[in-house]
């Protein structure tokens, strides 16, 4: 016991001495360091392309650091950066607006002129919103538009993808195009059920179903067997779209939903609204046209989204690339004026990082979602961002709430469900071929909070193997975070293996 008391006194003297001579107190636990070191010995990891940064909050003191200045692919944890910048520039209560105007006049039940849809970049606009708006216009007494349906797309520039997305586009929803007036995340939902009997056609419908989209259903219902349904979209020589359904689906199968990207999002959203107007009993004499100049008129209806803080929660829960890129362009449009562009948006995001004290020297911001393989970020820059956002009263609570609760409480929570840290982890995941990343916050049982960033680039672990490494590290932080040995080191030193 005397030896133990002597050890405690020695530690106190070291701490006091460190404070008096200006050294930074850093907490480190050999058990934590050893557990992380062992996790990183996994043979499928790249020694030079694996980075780990862990800091204690709110001090920001380094707990563990490995390759923290290495510029690596962040994958979808880039959405953390976009989220923080959006809250900084737009504020948690920002709402996207979509305005419905006319450049004509109201005469009885007619609008004598054009109906204008003024897009405001809303990434959350759904078919049910447009259905409701069409019925509200009908309820106001409007029965006919004598002019055209104009879609004002000037809020964004005319680039429908991030400039760094140079690879050929797929029809998967993660590859959706961008537009100032967008609907259903710029995807078409194709819904499939078995027919009523063996040999009958599958029951297929589109949501929404604009008139220029043709459905070709070659799918058949079978008694039993494997689901082989495949769905694709192709553009016709007349400028229309054809959705082709093939394959077999057994009787009694659950509904299958496939979301396909849209070739022309502005036309898609405009024609979908035209169809909803027709369903509501409002006719449009003219055609649907896209304009890229600022259209003016008398407002008939204003649609506002939910606050962006809620949209950011969905962004990080479902890792929606489309939403992230729409937000980058919106930041530019709101700060620099329309049309919003990626170049200006990403410049503002970089400026934001500098404002909060993040070193941007080795960073490359190529998009807002992390889909581009041209992005480069460092583990230290990520934990510096997390540490800077944590104590901010204006945006910190919304930022933290936007990150998924791992292992508990709802959607996509299976990962770490059996962990001792269940429900104590806020995180964003990232995945590309050969890349797995994880970043966020984790609390110890004593509510000591840590920020962490894990980059596993050039790994050969597969999705499950990489997750296993990351989960082991996060569990270690949670388990040993309460039992740190207080040590003092000079400024800039680290208690874990340094790069």
Tens-digit pLDDT profile for residues 85-98 = 999 999 999 999 99
At residue 80, φ and ψ (nearest 5 deg) are -60, -45
The predicted pLDDT at position 173 comes to 87
At residue 156, φ and ψ (nearest 5 deg) are -115, 160
Active-site residue (options: 182, 305, 319, 369): 319
Q: What's the whole-number mean pLDDT along residues 470-474?
A: 97
Q: Please give the Cα distance from 53 to 69 (Å, whole number).
A: 10
79 is catalytic: yes
Q: Please give the Cα distance from 242 to 234 (Å, whole number).
A: 5
The predicted pLDDT at position 411 comes to 67
The predicted pLDDT at position 14 comes to 34
The predicted pLDDT at position 8 comes to 41
The predicted pLDDT at position 11 comes to 41
Higher-confidence position of 302 and 413: 302
The predicted pLDDT at position 484 comes to 60
Q: What's the whole-number mean pLDDT along residues 232-258?
A: 92
Give the percent of the chain with pLDDT over 70.
90
- For residue 493, pLDDT beyond 60: no
Q: Please give the Cα distance from 48 to 457 (Å, whole number).
A: 9
- For residue 152, pLDDT beyond 70: yes
The predicted pLDDT at position 415 comes to 87
76 is catalytic: yes
Higher-confidence position of 24 and 266: 266
- For residue 216, pLDDT beyond 60: yes
Query: How sure is the predictor about 107, in pLDDT bands with cuts at 50, 70 and 90?
Result: very high
Query: How sure is the predictor about 412, in pLDDT bands with cuts at 50, 70 and 90?
Result: low
Cβ atoms of residues 487 and 27 within 8 Å: yes
Q: What torsion do the CA atoms of 380, 383, 388, 392 make, to the nearest 10 degrees?
A: 170
Q: What's the whole-number mean pLDDT along residues 386-395?
A: 98
Give the percent of the chain with pLDDT over 90.
83
Q: Please give the distance of CA 231 from its chain centroid, rounded to a whole number.
A: 25
301's enclosing H/E stretch is strand 298-304
Q: What are 425-460's pLDDT values in tens digits?
A: 999 999 999 999 999 999 999 999 999 999 999 999
Q: What mean pLDDT, rounded, does the chain reach?
A: 91
Q: What's the whole-number mean pLDDT along residues 374-380?
A: 98
Q: Spell out where 94-211 has E strands.
A: 97-102, 105-107, 110-112, 115-118, 144-145, 149-152, 187-193, 203-207
Domains along the chain? Answer: 2-93+308-489 (3.40.710.10), 97-304 (3.50.80.20)
Q: What's the whole-number mean pLDDT along residues 395-411?
A: 90
Provide the whole-model pTM: 0.90
Q: Which of 127-136, 236-245, 270-279 has the lowest mean pLDDT?
A: 236-245
Cβ atoms of residues 217 and 204 within 8 Å: yes
Q: What are 26-74's pLDDT values in tens digits?
A: 556 899 999 999 999 999 999 999 999 999 999 999 999 999 999 999 9
The predicted pLDDT at position 490 comes to 31
Active-site residue (options: 79, 118, 256, 313): 79
The predicted pLDDT at position 489 comes to 33
- For residue 82, pLDDT beyond 50: yes
- For residue 18, pLDDT beyond 60: no
């Amino acid at each position: 016991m005397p030896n133990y008391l002597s050890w405690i006194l020695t530690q106190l003297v070291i701490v006091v001495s460190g404070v008096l001579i200006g050294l930074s107190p850093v907490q480190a636990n050999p058990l934590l360091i050893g557990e992380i070191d062992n996790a990183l010995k996994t043979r499928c990891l790249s020694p030079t392309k694996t980075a780990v940064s862990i800091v204690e909050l709110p001090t920001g003191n380094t707990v563990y650091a490995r390759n923290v200045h290495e510029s690596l692919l962040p994958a979808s944890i880039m959405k953390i950066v976009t989220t923080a910048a959006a809250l900084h520039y737009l504020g948690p209560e920002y709402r996207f607006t979509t305005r419905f105007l006319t450049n004509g006049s109201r005469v009885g039940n007619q609008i004598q002129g054009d109906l204008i849809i003024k897009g405001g970049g809303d990434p959350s606009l759904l078919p049910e919103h447009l259905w409701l708006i069409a019925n509200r216009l009908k309820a106001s007494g409007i029965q006919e538009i004598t002019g055209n349906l104009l879609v004002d797309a000037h809020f964004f520039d005319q680039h429908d993808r991030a400039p760094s997305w140079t690879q050929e586009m797929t029809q998967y929803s993660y590859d959706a195009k961008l537009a100032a007036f967008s609907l259903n995340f710029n995807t078409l939902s194709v819904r499939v059920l078995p027919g009523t009997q063996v040999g009958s056609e599958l029951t297929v419908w589109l949501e929404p179903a604009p008139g220029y989209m043709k459905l070709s259903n070659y799918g058949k219902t079978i008694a039993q067997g494997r689901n082989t349904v495949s769905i694709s979209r192709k553009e016709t020589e007349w400028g229309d779209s054809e959705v082709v359904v093939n394959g077999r689906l057994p009787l009694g199968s659950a509904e299958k939903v496939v979301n396909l990207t849209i070739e022309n999002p502005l036309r898609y959203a405009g024609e979908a609204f035209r169809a909803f107007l027709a369903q509501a009993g409002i006719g449009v004499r003219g055609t649907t046209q896209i304009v890229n100049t600022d259209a003016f008129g008398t407002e008939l209806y204003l649609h506002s989204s939910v606050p962006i803080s809620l949209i950011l929660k969905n962004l990080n829960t479902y890792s929606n690339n489309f939403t992230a890129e729409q937000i980058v362009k919106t930041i530019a449009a709101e700060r620099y004026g329309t049309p919003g562009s990626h170049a200006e948006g990403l410049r503002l995001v970089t400026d934001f990082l500098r404002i909060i004290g993040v070193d941007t020297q080795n960073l490359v911001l190529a998009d807002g979602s992390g889909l581009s393989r041209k992005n480069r970020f460092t583990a230290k820059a990520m934990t510096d961002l997390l540490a800077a956002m944590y104590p901010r009263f204006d945006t910190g609570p919304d930022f933290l709430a936007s990150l998924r609760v791992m292992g508990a409480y709802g959607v996509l929570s299976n990962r770490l469900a059996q962990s001792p840290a269940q429900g104590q982890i806020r995180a964003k995941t990232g995945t590309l071929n050969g890349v797995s990343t994880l970043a966020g916050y984790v609390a110890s049982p004593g509510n000591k909070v840590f920020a962490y960033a894990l980059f596993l680039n050039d790994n050969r672990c597969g999705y499950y193997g990489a997750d296993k490494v990351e989960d082991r590290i996060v569990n270690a932080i949670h388990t040993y975070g309460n039992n740190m040995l207080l040590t003092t080191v000079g400024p800039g030193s680290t208690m874990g293996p340094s790069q």
